[in-house]
Amino acid sequence: MAKVKTKFFCTDCGYESPKWYGKCPGCQAWNTMVEEKESTAVKTQGMNSSLFQTKQKPQAITEIEAGKEPRIQTGIQELNRVLGGGVVPGSLVLVGGDPGIGKSTLLLQTSHALTQAGLRVLYISGEESVRQTKLRAERLDALSDELFVLCESNMDLIEEAIDNLNPNFLVIDSIQTVYQPEVTSAPGSVSQVRECTSRFMRVAKIRGIATVLVGHVTKEGAIAGPRMLEHMVDCVLYFEGERHHTYRILRAVKNRFGSTNEMGIFEMHEEGLTEVSNPSELFLSERAMGAAGSTVVASMEGTRPMLVELQALVAATHFPSPRRMGTGVDNNRLSLIIAVLEKRMGMFLQNQDAYLNVAGGVKLDEPAVDLAIAVSLASSFRDAPTKPDDVIFGEIGLTGEVRAVSRAEQRVKEAAKLGFKRVILPEKSLKGWKHPKDIQLIGVNTVAEALKAALD
C-alpha cells in the first residue's frame, strides 16, 4: 500500500509544515498544530464550472466607475445597523456565536424577511434535516414559497444547487460541516474550511450572491478554524449573550462596508428574536433607586447612545491582597481608577475588595465610563446613595482631572428622553453645542468636583 502523506496546519493562522511544532512558527501560538492527510489529487472540474468563469479584463483605476454600493434591506433594522445599512450584494458574511445562542433563528428570520421583499433565498443546513428546519420555520412563522431549504454538505452538490436555483441570498449553516470530496481531511479541518470558504467567496463575488456563513466557536469564544477564515470574508459578526437571559447582542468585529462600532440588540421569545429599539429602557428596567454604589452612565455604541447601570460593591477583606473584579469592564481600567481614588481623593482602599458589574451583561470599553465607575466605587465605600435622576460620564486622567469625551450632545439627549434631571459631565464637553432646557448640566474638571456633585 502507498504511504499516506500528512502535513501539519496551525488552527490559528493556517501555517503549513511537514513536521509538528509545539510552537507555531507563523503566529507563535502554542499547541495549535494539527495533523491532516495531504491531498494527492486536485480536482479542477468545480473550479472550471460556470460559477467561476469570468471574462473581465484588468482596468485602470481611473476608468472604474465609482458608484454607491447598493444594499439589500434585510427587514430587521438592528441587523441593518450592524451591517452598515444593509447587506451588500456579493458580500461574504461570517456569523459566529455560542451553541444555542440563536444564530440559526436570526438567519431564518432574516431569510423570511428577504423573501417578503421579493428575493429568492437558499438556506443550506449541514446540521439539521429539512424537516427540522421546517419545524423551526413554522414556530417562527417564517414560511415562504421563495425560501428554499437544502440539507447538504458536499461542496460540489451545493454549487450545482446554487447554479440551478440562482438565489439572491445564500445561507450556509455551518461552514464547518461543508466538505470538498477531493480534499481527504475531515469536514471542519483547516484544509476543508479554507478551501470551502474560498469557493464560496468566488461564488459570492462572481455571481453577486450575498452569502452568510455560520461558524462554530471554540471554548475561548473565537471562531473555530484558521484565522485566515476571518481575513477572507467581508464582514465578521459575533452573536453574544447569556443563555439564561432573553437579550442577545450582535457585534461587528470586521466590516469592509461599514463601521465596526455598531451594536444590534435583540430579545429572545418563544416566537423568535424581536428587535430592541430602545436598549436604555431594557437595561434600566430593574434598577434599584437610591442604592449606594449604583450609577447610570451614558455610553456610545457606534452612533447609538445607551444608558447603562453600573453597580459597585466595596467591602472589607481579611486577606493581604484585596480583589479587584469587574464584569463588563476592563479589570486593568478598574485598578487604575481605584489607584486614582486612593492617591487623589485619600480613600484607603488597600484593605477593601472592589467589585464592579455592568447590569444587563453589556461590555463597556470606552474611557467615557471612567467617571461613573469612580462615583460608583466612592458611593459604595462611603455608603452614600447616589441621586436616582443623575447620569454621569467622563474620562479620568492619572492626575485626577476629568477629560472631555466625544458625542456629549447625543448622550445628554438620550438622558433627557428617558426623564433624567441632571447630567454630570466634563466641563470641556459643554462647548460647541446647544444645551437642552429640560435637563441640568453640571460641568466638572476634577474627580473631587464630580464626587461632591454626585454624593453631597
Give the separation between CA 333 and CA 339, rounded to whole angstroms: 10
Nearest to 175 by CA among 205, 150, 155, 149: 155
Strand, coil or helix: 79: helix
Give binding residues for ATP as ranges. 97-104
AA letter at 163: D
Cβ atoms 437, 413 nearer than 8 A: no
- Please, how many CA atoms are within 13 Å of residue 282, restricted to the half-sphere of its CB? 18
Cis peptide before 321 (omega within 30 of 0): no
Tell me the residue type at 89.
P
The SS3 call for residue 127 is coil
Query: Which 3 state secondary structure label does DSSP give 101?
Result: coil
Contacts of 402 (CB under 8 A, 6+ apart): 371, 394, 395, 396, 426, 427, 444, 445, 446, 447, 449, 450
Our CA angle for 227, 229, 234, nearest 5°, is 120
* 247, β-bridge pairs: 267
Which parts are annotated binding residues? 97-104
SS3 assignment, position 91: coil
All three cell numbers of 250, joined, read 450582535
| Calpha distance 171→113 (Å, rounded) | 14
Return the amino acid letter for 19.
K
* Nearest-angstrom CA–CA distance, 327 and 361: 8
Q: What is the DSSP string of 384-424?
A: -PPPTTEEE--EE-TTSBEE--S-HHHHHHHHHHTT--EEE
Q: Which of 239, 284, 285, 287 is nearest to 266 (CA)?
A: 239
